[in-house]
Amino acid sequence: MPSPQGSDSPLTSGTVDWPHAPPHRLSEAGTYFVTAGTYRKLHHFRARQRLEVLQRGLITVCREAGWTLEAWAVFSNHYHFVAGSPCRTDSAQSLARMLGRLHSRTAAWVNRLEGTPGRKVWHNFFETKLSFERSYFARLSYVHQNAVRHGLVRTAGEYPWCSARWFEQTASKARVATIYRFKTDRLAVADDYEVESVS
């Protein structure tokens, strides 16, 4: 829809953060915390095979776009990740294109399985640029341990569709302990998702 003309319109003065369409201010390179969810929070990825496809898809599009994944967790109706934008650019504007590819590919795949071509599967995504070390470490902890928060497993490394097991096996014990000690209960994260156990 074209923007109304006229300097008195709130649509033409400054930025407006519309409900259900979060602003994506990706003019700076850096490390970002990202959350994306399915349309109406439906559980399109509740089965093992579907979680495998979503996890593999996320890892693949990040690699293709030059983003460096540091933590990730995928669930029946949403996912989170922490990743660094490509070092060869001075912005993170490729994030939207990258997630567009992930969402179009996985939506088409799920819709083929269920015989629902063209159905809307994904909603929007939310990103936060991590500018402070404590915020960065807290969000790494949040993502690695998110399956525990959702009550799916007792320890983070038990959940196959996240980075926790990889992190625990590749990082030093001291680093794992340091990251996992960070408190996450006060983080402002769009994570009001009820997840379903894997069938």
Task: Give the tens place of pLDDT for each residue, 3-19.
Answer: 333 333 333 334 433 34
Distances (CA, A) of 128 to 79, 113, 190: 14, 33, 11
Which pLDDT tens digit goes with each residue over 13-64?
A: 344 333 433 444 445 678 999 999 999 999 999 999 999 999 999 999 999 9
47: in domain: yes
7: in domain: no
107: in domain: yes
The better pLDDT of the pair 187, 77 is held by 77
Could you tell me the CATH number of the domain that includes residue 164? Answer: 3.30.70.1290
pLDDT beyond 90 at 186: no
Which pLDDT tens digit goes with each residue over 60-102?
A: 999 999 999 999 999 999 999 999 999 877 677 899 999 999 9
Which residues contact residue 48 at a Cβ distance below 8 angstroms, ignoring those fewer than 6 apart?
198, 199
**pTM of full prediction above 0.85:** no
Tell me the mean pLDDT in the region 173-196. Answer: 86
Task: Give the chain's domain count.
Answer: 1
Domain that includes residue 101, residue range: 31-181
Banded pLDDT at 184 (limits 50, 70, 90) = confident
74: in domain: yes
The better pLDDT of the pair 197, 55 is held by 55
Whether 72 and 5 have beta carbons less than 8 Å apart is answered as no
Q: Report the first-to-last Cα separation within the chain, whole angstroms.
A: 42
Whether 141 and 190 have beta carbons less than 8 Å apart is answered as no
141: in domain: yes
The better pLDDT of the pair 8, 103 is held by 103
* pLDDT score for 78: 96
pLDDT beyond 50 at 125: yes
Please return the burial class of 147, using the count of CB atoms within 10 Å of its CB with bins 0-12, 13-18 and 19+.
buried
* pLDDT score for 3: 35
Q: Distance between CA atoms of 74 and 46, rounded to whole angstroms?
A: 10
pLDDT beyond 60 at 154: yes
154: in domain: yes
99: in domain: yes
pLDDT beyond 90 at 143: yes
pLDDT beyond 80 at 158: yes
Sign of CA dihedral 93, 190, 180, 56: negative
Tokens found for residue 88: 């060869």
* pLDDT score for 63: 95
10: in domain: no
Tell me the mean pLDDT in the region 148-170. Answer: 96
